[in-house]
Amino acid sequence: MTYGTITPATNAPKQHNNKTAIHLTPEHHLDFLHLVVLLPFIQVVVLYASNFSGLLPVFTGRRLRGLLWYYCIASLVLDLVQLKVLGLGLRHMGDVFFILELLLVGFYLNKKLFTGTGKKANGITILILLVYYLADTFHKAQRRTNLEAAALLHAYFIVILFFAFVKIIKDMEYIHIQRSPFFIFCVGFFIYVSGSCIIMLFDPLLGKEYEAFAGNMWIIFNFLNFLKNILIGYSFTLKNTET
Amino acid sequence: MKVEFLVLLAVVFMLVLAFGIIFFVIMYQRRIIRHQHDIRNINDQKQLELIQASIRGEEDERMRIASELHDDVGATLSSVRLFLHASAKKDADPAIILQSKDLLDDSITKIRNISHKLQPAMLLQLGLYAALQSFTAMISKPGTIAMTYHSQPIPRLHDDVELSVYRILQEFTSNIIRHAGATTIELDTAIIASTLHTTLVHNGQGLTEEDYQQQIYKKGSIGLKNIVNRLKTINATISFGQTAEGKFTITIITPLSIT
């Protein structure tokens, strides 16, 4: 999922410039100005790269057709919706995406990591999180995506992926770990959820005053999304990929 | 600015932590692989040494049999031939014929001993208990070495267990006589909770656990390596110790069921 719009970044230069210019040396000031000029450009590049990077896993995993592939489809659809490529503009599209992410990736990891009671317990945890997300979203009835609840879902993924790394070390299925599709997926998704969890947690708290800064934070989010898509796309090309 | 900095710091911290965990997983996995590779190398090396020891043991055994046949039985039979040749020239001399008969008896005994060592018929026909009784009697030589065997009768065991235990005891006894300088050897066997406990006690200069571990990893020590091989094939364990009187003990515990 890609987040952010191009508009917040237009405010960013003014705000940063006013607040920090006094403390900067002339050289630093020049560098800072460069960054300020480049920032909207970087934002646009990262936003588009992030949105269209979803095409890679959808393409490379087209023959696998597993839970992960459907997750990539959902991610790509949301990205294209956000860019208004598909001409849709659903208010709760983000919420739908996070629910799909929880179900598709959650049950994929559940299948890969757990057996017996652990599998059942994790399955129940996923359902509890789903119920919480829905209840919280309806309760708040806000006009934007429920990012606080989404941050909780990503925190859950951080914990589960930690188990995944322990399992990878324990099982030792691959001599060259970089050849393991599951490890590559875990790396991509772990980096993505680690960064996005904090960004989504703080974004609603920042408020209007820090709108420009929050906009810039989404550059990082989009970059992480880009990285995740590339790594998942790569993992689909490896042998013995199971989705 | 403070809030911005803190949020940025939190994101950076989280990402650094994520990369750190991934880096740790990669490094840890590599370390384990390297460690396993080293262990595999050591095991391969050990396996190779055991195979070499087994081949050399077989070759040594062949050489020993060849030399026994050539130097001992061959020489005796040549003497018999000479005596018979001499007696054929003269009228039958009863003394020469008797001497020839004695030499032939001697040869028959020697051949029987060699055959017994190669394939202990008693072991195959009557089992370990009878074979060890016969073996003890064969080893004991008055004034040189006294070997005794104490045991309740042992039921027939799996062929592999019987043969391996017998060969291991043969090897240890031979080593005790040749290297430890012992004058008494006591052999005990007992069945305890579906395992066969075999104990050798001797008054020579015996092996300790540490000596044994060192010897089996050393080059040479073919006999001991063959013992290790045989112990492995029957899943037996071995331990070394000393009695209160300072006698050395070797205990072999063998499971009666072989998988």
ipTM computed for the complex: 0.73
Gyration radius (Cα) of chain B, Å: 30
At residue B125, does pLDDT exceed 80? yes
Half-sphere exposure (CA, 13 Å, Cβ side) for A93?
20
The whole-angstrom separation of Cα A183 and Cα A175 is 12
pLDDT of residue A20: 37
Chain B residues within 8 A of A165 when measuring between CB atoms:
21-22, 25
Residue in B7, B25, B30 nearest the CB of A168: B25
Give whole-number Cα distances, A104 to A152, A193, B30, in Å.
16, 15, 31
pLDDT, mean over chain A: 79
The whole-angstrom separation of Cα A154 and Cα A221 is 13
A217/B contact by beta carbon, under 8 A: yes
Instruction: Give the H or E element holding residue A38.
Output: helix A26-53
CB contact at 8 A, B147 and B139 = yes
At residue A51, does pLDDT exceed 90? no
Distance from the Cα of A168 to chain B's closest Cα (Å) equals 8
pLDDT of residue A150: 92
The tens digit of pLDDT for each residue in B169-218 reads 988 998 898 888 889 999 999 999 889 999 999 998 888 888 888 877 77
pLDDT of residue A7: 34
Query: Which amino acid, one-letter code, is at B177?
Result: I
Counting one residue from A and one from B, how many pairs have CB atoms under 8 Å apart? 57
Chain B residues within 8 A of A178 when measuring between CB atoms:
26
SS3 of residue B243 by DSSP: coil
Query: Which amino acid, one-letter code, is at B153?
Result: P
Chain B residues within 8 A of A206 when measuring between CB atoms:
3, 7
The residues near B153 (Cβ < 8 Å, ≥ 6 apart) are: B129
The tens digit of pLDDT for each residue in A26-41 reads 444 445 556 666 777 7
Q: What mean pLDDT is predicted for residues A85-94?
A: 62
The whole-angstrom separation of Cα A117 and Cα A123 is 10
CB contact at 8 A, A156 and A129 = yes
Distance from the Cα of A161 to chain B's closest Cα (Å) equals 10
Q: What mean pLDDT is predicted for residues B31-43?
A: 88
Give whole-number Cα distances, A108 to A40, A102, B252, in Å.
37, 10, 52
Which one, of B58, B188, B202, lies nearest residue B128 by Cα? B188
Residue in A175, A178, A194 nearest the CB of B14: A194
Higher pLDDT, residue B14 or A19: B14
Q: Which residue of A147, A191, A224 to mutate against B (max B Cβ within 10 Å)? A: A191
Residue B170: left (phi > 0), alpha (psi -120 to 50), or beta? alpha
At residue B118, does pLDDT exceed 90? no
The whole-angstrom separation of Cα A72 and Cα A57 is 6
CA B164 to chain CA centroid, nearest Å: 8
Residue in A20, A172, A190 nearest the CB of B18: A190
Q: Give the β-pairing of B195-202 and B184-192.
A: antiparallel
Q: What DSSP character marks residue B236?
A: -
Task: Check CB contact under 8 Å for B18 and A195.
Answer: yes
CB contact at 8 A, A24 and A225 = no
A32/B contact by beta carbon, under 8 A: no
Residue in A190, A198, A220 nearest the CB of B22: A190
Distance from the Cα of B38 to chain A's closest Cα (Å) equals 14
Most confident of A91-95, A100-104, B94-98, B149-153: A100-104
Is the torsion defined by CA of A77, A79, A80, A81 positive or negative? positive
User: Would you state the structure tokens that stand for residue B168, as one six-digit string?
Assistant: 């291991």
Chain B residues within 8 A of A20 when measuring between CB atoms:
1
pLDDT of residue B233: 84
CA terminus-to-terminus distance, chain B: 73
Name the pLDDT band for A23 (thresholds 50, 70, 90).
very low
pLDDT of residue B109: 82
Nearest CA in chain B to A213: B4
Nearest CA in chain B to A199: B11
Q: Give the β-pairing of B248-255 and B195-202.
A: antiparallel
Give whole-number Cα distances, A75 to A63, A70, A96, B129, B196, in Å.
18, 9, 10, 77, 67
Query: Which amino acid, one-letter code, is at A114?
Result: F
CA A64 to chain CA centroid, nearest Å: 22
Q: Which residue has the tokens 């027939």?
A: B156
Distance from the Cα of A131 to chain B's closest Cα (Å) equals 27
Which one, of B30, B51, B33, lies nearest residue B41 by Cα? B33
CB contact at 8 A, B173 and B151 = no
The whole-angstrom separation of Cα A80 and Cα B85 is 113
Name the pLDDT band for A122 (thresholds 50, 70, 90).
very high
pLDDT of residue A1: 59
The tens digit of pLDDT for each residue in A165-187 reads 999 888 877 777 888 899 999 99
- What percentage of chain B has pLDDT greater than the value 90? 21
CB contact at 8 A, A1 and A47 = no
The tens digit of pLDDT for each residue in B53-85 reads 777 777 887 888 888 788 878 888 888 888 888
At residue A22, does pLDDT exceed 90? no
Task: Check CB contact under 8 Å for B29 and A20.
Answer: no
